[in-house]
Amino acid sequence: MSSNKRISSSEFAWFAGVGIVLALAAYKWDGSKSLDADFLALLPQTQHAPLVTAAANRLASATQDRMVWLLGSESAPIAAEHATHLSQMLRDSGLFGPIHGEVATAAVSPYAKLFPYRFQLVRSDTLNALQTAPQSIIDSALANALGPFAVYQTQQLASDPLGLFPHYLAGLAPQGIDLFDGRTPMIHHGGFHYALLVTTAANGAFDLNRAEELLALMGRVRSWAAAQGVVLLATGIPLFAASNAERAQFELSTVGSGSMLGVILLFVITFRSLRPFLLATVAISTGLLVAVTVSIWLFERVHLLTFVFGATLIGVSDDYALHYLCDAFRGPNWSARDATRRVLPGLALGLMTTLAAYASLGIAPFPALRQISVFCGAGLLGAWLTVLLLLPSHTVALRSTPTLMRAGLWYTRRFPIVTDRWVFFGAAMACSSLAALFYWAEPSDDVRLLQSKTPQLTQESAEIASLISTQRDSQYLIVEGDGVESTLAAENALRTVLDRLVQERKLHAYSAISSAYPSRDEQAEHYRLLKTKLYDTGLIRTFFDTLHTRQNVSAEHLAEFDKANDRVVSLDDWLGLVGEPWSQLWLGCTDGRCASLVTLNGYSNLDSNDIAVLSTLRGVTVVDRVGEISAMMAKYRVIAGQLLAGAYIFAALMLCLRYGVRRGIRVLVVPIGAALITVATLVASGFALNLFTVCALLLVVGMAFDDAIFFALHGRTSGPTALAVLLSATTTLISFGLLSLSSTPVLRDFGITLALGVASAYLLAPIAAAVSSNEASHDPASTA
């Protein structure tokens, strides 16, 4: 019975603590602003020069809130017409800012201001022709003038008779995209015509609060497109974030309510009373509250994945309450004071091993792992403290022998008695098999493990990338130099290598400022080339004469050409006029050092030789975040593996010192055996080992030690221990089993590994009980 009606000092401490935590949580919680759903937020920060960081930010901010929409039809006019309607639907939703096609913005007005520099801004193929066959330029201009409806050529005879300016402009527009009806950007592929729309978020940043709205809009747009018989493709980080948020919410409630249901069911069957269940619920809720509070205080934003994983706390943190409550089955003589004395050593050891296991998740600099580590650690501590502070005054002795206790005892009693020699042998065998498995199994260190699987979105995104050649790889190049001119010169040197790679069909395409903007020297050189090859040689004269151009018109042109002699358009002016996407490629200058960005399409086709050639070029840095992160995952997978080995060695030493070698190895064989069964099952069913499965194994060690320690301390015939271990294993198994259904590979791998580990740990745990356990049964004193 609870000792009296007055609040004990430990209860008071608990209430005060919960009050403080609640206040802290209320102070810090800031709705969805405290949440992250973006896959990128899960990736580790890699140490980089400020320039690389600036480049990464530039690229990220260019894509963060952008969505690309394609409407495909076999008829270009139909695609264009539907694009107009789609753009109206998108505008009406209020979710987006200005909606435009990428080319539409680039193809109109600002270019008029570049017209005065038409003799300086010359496209590269024109330059080649000037040097090798200037006559061909005259010939094609004549062809255009004599072609059907030669409007431009004849209208611009005085200012741009050769049509070089529109040719230069055509080179600025993204390749493969053209304007239909002069206004709808369109891509043509395999008999299909895709109208292109680009949207940005309404207030400059996508608001996770509006994820549902965005998904509802997507639903409407998709069914509209289906009804109209047009193909709709959409991609963009907001879309992925929204769908991740939706799935995370769904998974959170699945894991959470599933675990809770399991806990309720088991408690009702076992205790046949509301009180234990309420007490356990208080412990679990306190744990969750502490977990959330500590997380939002420690991290600026908590990722939704953390919460999904955190929902497993329900199944894990009820263990402490269970061990305490099950102890109450010892009968009428049960007292809270004895119970605490009896259960505390096991609870303390259990908490320490589990906390150590969760803490070890934080070694790898992956935000996801660190958040999970902190969330679960804090949650367990909160639940544990609640059990110790609150439960003693509210727990009452229980008389019955629940069915599940009989079931638990049935299993532990039937468990074969294994002699020390076999335990040693088994431990040695398990250790070496485990090491062998780790050595031989093919690991996988793929960043995509962190990415939620949304097959339709992923596939659409890939389709769009293949349709739009300006889609960028996540790998890119940074070019540096002392000043604008030397940066452009370094880019030119780089471009000769890139052009070769494009020619060898390794690289699909690349974007570099220097391919469209000539440096000051080059501008002068372009003018000089035009002058010496076309004007001084009299070729332009023959052009005018062939067309019978009026004397005053050709004279006007020659005067215009002379007047343009020393015009120079500065990089800043040029960038201001052409705007995006070109302006995104210039990182600017600080203290005389300038830098630009070269984006690539097709990096994955390059071999290590090509990459080595690129990175040895002067001023060029290859930035490969995907590669870096994969390398980091591999590195920390090995470190986590070593940590796992270290954990075993440390635990072995501690256990042998505390309980002697014989009993120590008995306890140790449980986590080692559980790890072996888990890894063997994973490898046999085709799962590759990765950083996250190895981290999950660390947790398996912690949880298996828990089970083993309770058997070691209380023997295998102790009813309350058998019951508590069975119940805690079951609830934990439910939680992780549900987690293994997650659509995010990392959570799924965690769930599967832990479910396997917890199940095998339970099955092996009775080994930990001392062989002479008969004498230990029902004799709590012997465990002290």
Partner 1 sequence: MTRWVLAVLVASCTALASADSDDLLRRTGNLLDKHAITTGQFIQTATVAALNAPLISGGVFYFDRDQGVSWHVDRPISARFIFRPTATDTRVASAPTMPMAWIGQMLNAVLAGDFTQLIRQFSIDGSVSTEHWALSLTPKSAAFGRAIAKIEIEGAAAVSRIKVFEANGDDVSIAFSVIEYPDSLPADVEREFEQAH
Among 154, 469, 583, 630, binds partner 1 (CB under 8 A): 154
Asked if residue 371 binds partner 1 (CB under 8 A), the reply is no
Closest approach, Cβ 143 to partner 1, in A, equals: 3
Q: Are strands 67-73 and 231-236 parallel, antiparallel or unpaired?
A: antiparallel
**Three-state DSSP class for residue 589:** strand
Yes or no: say if 126 and 136 are a contact pair by the CB < 8 Å rule: no
Asked if residue 455 binds partner 1 (CB under 8 A), the reply is no
Q: Which stretch binds partner 1 (CB under 8 A): 154-162, 271-279, 304-312, 671-679?
A: 154-162
Among 43, 122, 186, 343, binds partner 1 (CB under 8 A): 186
Yes or no: say if 353 and 705 are a contact pair by the CB < 8 Å rule: yes
Own/partner contacts of 21-30, CB < 8 Å, gap of 24 or more, are: 21/289, 21/290, 21/293, 21/382, 22/289, 22/293, 24/293, 24/297, 25/289, 25/292, 25/293, 25/296, 28/293, 28/296, 28/297, 29/296
> Rounded to whole angstroms, how far apart are CA atoms 627 and 474?
10
Among 96, 180, 307, 329, binds partner 1 (CB under 8 A): 180
Asked if residue 428 binds partner 1 (CB under 8 A), the reply is no
Yes or no: say if 633 and 447 are a contact pair by the CB < 8 Å rule: yes
> Rounded to whole angstroms, how far apart are CA atoms 721 and 279?
19
**Three-state DSSP class for residue 279:** helix
Closest approach, Cβ 540 to partner 1, in A, equals: 15
Among 21, 145, 225, 697, binds partner 1 (CB under 8 A): 145
Closest approach, Cβ 64 to partner 1, in A, equals: 31
Asked if residue 170 binds partner 1 (CB under 8 A), the reply is yes
Closest approach, Cβ 71 to partner 1, in A, equals: 14
Nearer residue to partner 1 within complex by CB, 174 or 481: 174
Yes or no: say if 2 and 396 are a contact pair by the CB < 8 Å rule: yes
- The CA-atom distances, in angstroms, between 772 and each of 423, 683, 716, 764, 769 are 14, 37, 10, 17, 8
Closest approach, Cβ 154 to partner 1, in A, equals: 5
**Three-state DSSP class for residue 477:** strand
Q: Which stretch binds partner 1 (CB under 8 A): 141-149, 247-255, 275-283, 402-410?
A: 141-149
Asked if residue 143 binds partner 1 (CB under 8 A), the reply is yes
Q: Which stretch binds partner 1 (CB under 8 A): 39-47, 114-122, 144-152, 200-208?
A: 144-152
**Three-state DSSP class for residue 617:** coil
Binders of partner 1 among residues 73 to 102 (CB under 8 A) are: 75-77, 81
Binders of partner 1 among residues 546 to 575 (CB under 8 A) are: 546-550, 553
Q: Which stretch binds partner 1 (CB under 8 A): 53-61, 87-95, 166-174, 754-762?
A: 166-174
Each residue 295-324 as x (binds partner 1 by CB under 8 A) or -, in order, gives ------------------------------
In DSSP terms, 195 is beta-bridged to 71, 186
Identify the residue whose tokens are 């997380």.
Answer: 295
Each residue 99-128 as x (binds partner 1 by CB under 8 A) or -, in order, gives --------------------------xx--
Binders of partner 1 among residues 471 to 490 (CB under 8 A) are: none
> Rounded to whole angstroms, how far apart are CA atoms 574 and 113?
9
Length of the chain: 784
Total binding residues for partner 1 by CB under 8 A? 44
Nearer residue to partner 1 within complex by CB, 115 or 250: 115
Contact residues for partner 1, defined by CB under 8 A = 75-77, 81, 125-126, 139-152, 154-155, 157-158, 163, 166-167, 169-170, 178-183, 186, 188, 193, 546-550, 553
